[in-house]
Amino acid sequence: MAMRGQSFGVVGALSAFPLRLAARRVAELGARLHRGTTRRTTQVVLGRSLLLKQSEPEIESRVAAANAAGLPILSEGAFLRLLEGTAADPAEMTRRSLIEQSKLSETVFDHLALFDAFEHAAEPFSFRDLILARKYAGLVAGGASWSEIARSVHAIGPVASLTALTLQPSPRGRIVSRDAHSLAELDGQRLLALDDTGEDSEDYFGLAETAEAAGLFAEAATLYRQCLALDPSDATAAFNLGNCEKATGEMEDAVHAYCTAIKRDPDFVEAWFNLGGLYRDLGKTEAARTHLTRAVTLDPGYADAIYNLGALDYDSGALPEARASWLRYLELDTDSDWARRAKAGIAVIDRQLRKFAG
């Protein structure tokens, strides 16, 4: 199965069904699904609910961050087809050819594709995709933004049905059909037979992220707890709660939250790292070493964890071990302030070892 061993980070909420149900299905297929991106994320999934909850610049910023991390990005539709093991209809048009023939800008085209405004989320594209691209180019020329187009086409129905319509932008930021075609709720992307569970935690999580970003850690912690009350399996909400509890000085609560994140997702390397750092702050050296070592085991290139292991060994007088960790750190980072500290630490250790030898 193509998904086995993969780690999917969902940015925004899925419109088809709650995240926890998708995570259950992904786990059945031998992969991981979690909110946001972590060090172990292999692919990003863009939830279409972003279109309803965030501004265009905010969405573009999140897409740019995923691109900067070198992570492949899947549209929600492409992700659902991957879960189902189905493929889009055959096609043979390249991305370059479609852009050149439609006159859409590359940026607009790519964002529309990432939010399933075409039949195919990636090349090869179809002739119907070209028709849609030309219609969208006309809407852009009329003053519509890509996010207005994406929001509107999903309110009309499956995008293939748009090829027979004449579309135009409206003053209210919606795309409408000139022939008064009635709008209908989109249900064409509900590809998995999953149970409806009513209320979910997506809105609370978004509010919590906003509060945390604004430095309102106590308020964010309350919202993350609500997320966990609605979805106890949410490892990311538990991890973020731990960060907020630590920021407000509630160290024992932070330990509990990080432990919860690890219990829910044993491969959550950042949770192992943060809990190791917290144990070090609390003076629990062996617990800190255990958790930092686990973080490095999960991610051998985790430079921060390697540095902190060296610092633990140095503080405890295990100088050769500290030296080895810092040398390993310098294989990953040679230019930062922490690299300079590692070099200085190695120099101090070398002097002390020569003194002991003499």
Which pLDDT score, from 0 to 100, does residue 180 have? 38
Provide the pLDDT for residue 201.
65
Mean of pLDDT over the chain: 84
Which has more confidence, 273 or 119?
A: 273
Closest CA to 48 of 75, 18, 17: 75
Q: Could you tell me the pLDDT band of residue 165, with boundaries at 50, 70 and 90? A: low
Q: What is the pLDDT of residue 200?
A: 55
The confidence score (pLDDT) of residue 198 equals 39
The C-alpha atoms of residue 269 and residue 277 are separated, in whole angstroms, by 12
Q: What pLDDT score was predicted for residue 174?
A: 55
Percentage with pLDDT > 90 across the chain: 50
User: pTM value?
Assistant: 0.71
Amino acid 31: pLDDT: 93
Q: What is the per-residue pLDDT for 162?
A: 58
* Choice between 327 and 86, residue whose per-residue pLDDT is larger: 327
Per-residue pLDDT at 100: 92
Say what percent of the chain tops pLDDT 70: 85
Judged against a pLDDT cut of 60, whether residue 11 lies above it is answered with yes
Backbone angles phi, psi at 243, to 5 degrees: -60, -40
Q: What is the pLDDT of residue 63?
A: 92
pLDDT digits (tens, 9 = 90+) for 266-297: 999 999 999 999 999 999 999 999 999 999 99
Q: Where are the alpha helices (DSSP H) in the chain?
A: 19-28, 50-53, 56-68, 76-84, 95-102, 106-114, 127-141, 146-156, 202-213, 217-230, 235-247, 251-264, 269-281, 285-298, 303-315, 319-332, 337-357
Tell me the pLDDT band of 195, cut-offs 50, 70 and 90. Answer: very low
pLDDT, position 110: 95
d(CA 116, CA 130): 14
Q: Which of the pair, 203 or 346, is modelled with greater confidence?
A: 346
Residue 192 has pLDDT above 80, yes or no: no
Residue 223: is its pLDDT beyond 60? yes
The pLDDT of residue 185 is 31
Residue 159 has pLDDT above 50, yes or no: yes
Decide if 175 contacts 146 (C-beta within 8 A). no
Residue 181 has pLDDT above 70, yes or no: no
- The residue-averaged pLDDT of 300-311 equals 95
Residue 56 has pLDDT above 60, yes or no: yes
Mean pLDDT computed over 142-165: 74
